[in-house]
Amino acid sequence: MNTIARYNQAVKFLENLSNIYQPFGFTMERPSAHPELHLKRMRYFLRMLGNSEKSMKFVHVTGTAGKGSVAHLVHRMLVSDGKRVGLFTSPFVTTTAEKIVVNNRFISARDFARLVGWMKPFISRAYTQCSYGGPTYFEVLFALALMYFREQKCAWSVLEVGCGGRFDATNVIPSPKVAVITNVDYDHTQLLGKTLKKIAYEKAGIVKKGCVCITGEQRPRISAIIEKECAKVGAHFLYVVAHSKNTTEGNVSIAEETARTCGVSEKAIVRGGEGARLPARFEIMQAKPLVILDGA
């Protein structure tokens, strides 16, 4: 079997995990009555795999819009400063491997298939031994990313949450260097809550003791919730003032401040931001006639 066939087989195996019943499920259609158990399940699985999350420093990114753009920009800026950096994002545009990046390069089909093959016995064991069920598709991909980052000797990892923050699988990491909350709006209300205050509270759940929390949320009543969470856990609150109503420019400012907080030089920040773009994010394909590709 060639490499691409093994890769496609590994992707299909992971996607089929979505068909397995979870006693404490966490899906867009069926919120869980015990969301705290998702984190216990994730920690159990990571212990089985050797706790890769304890080997690097993190930037953790959440928000309603712009979190993917900010995560990619911060990754590029850290790489431009000579650091070895992993990036985990979602969703992908064309293929699963896009979710896992090291120093601007996707994980190879060979490495992806190899790691999935190595993980299969642990996945099976988790389903039979863990009191909270086996890992979901997203959880396995996240664990795979962490293992790959450790293999690649990444000093830093930039993580975009899957949904919300407080009970997201990515929130099992140690206290990040920076927790980023781009903004707060109505999204995944069936999981996060029906009001902006509840949604802000859930997103602020990625803030941990000792980290710096950076946000671009402009509404005082919402940013106050984030600031209160910082005071509660012992984190430093840093508000990025928007000099423009342009969302893209605001995301760039958040990424730049995040990179500075991580010790990135100003030259590297400029280099990392040059030419940065995300495919299928309001991407202009041609001007006449105007054709725009937008993954939303």
Span 15-67, pLDDT tens digits: 999 887 666 555 444 556 677 888 999 999 999 999 999 989 999 999 988 89
pLDDT for position 274: 86
Q: Give the domains, in start order, of the chain with CATH numbers.
A: 3-293 (3.40.1190.10)
Separation of alpha carbons 72 and 57, rounded Å: 16
Entry field: residues in the chain: 296
Residue 74: count of CB within 10 angstroms of its CB: 29
What's the predicted TM-score (pTM) here?
0.92
pLDDT at position 28 is 45
Instruction: Using the CB atoms, write b or e for 229-258: b if 16+ within 10 Å.
Output: bbeebebebbbbebeeeeeeebbbbbbbbb
Of 63, 39, 64, which is closest to residue 53 (Cα–Cα)? 39
* Bridging pattern class, strands 156-160 and 85-88: parallel
Residue 157 reports pLDDT greater than 50? yes
pLDDT average, residue stretch 249-272: 94
Q: Taking residues 122-147, what's their average pLDDT?
A: 94
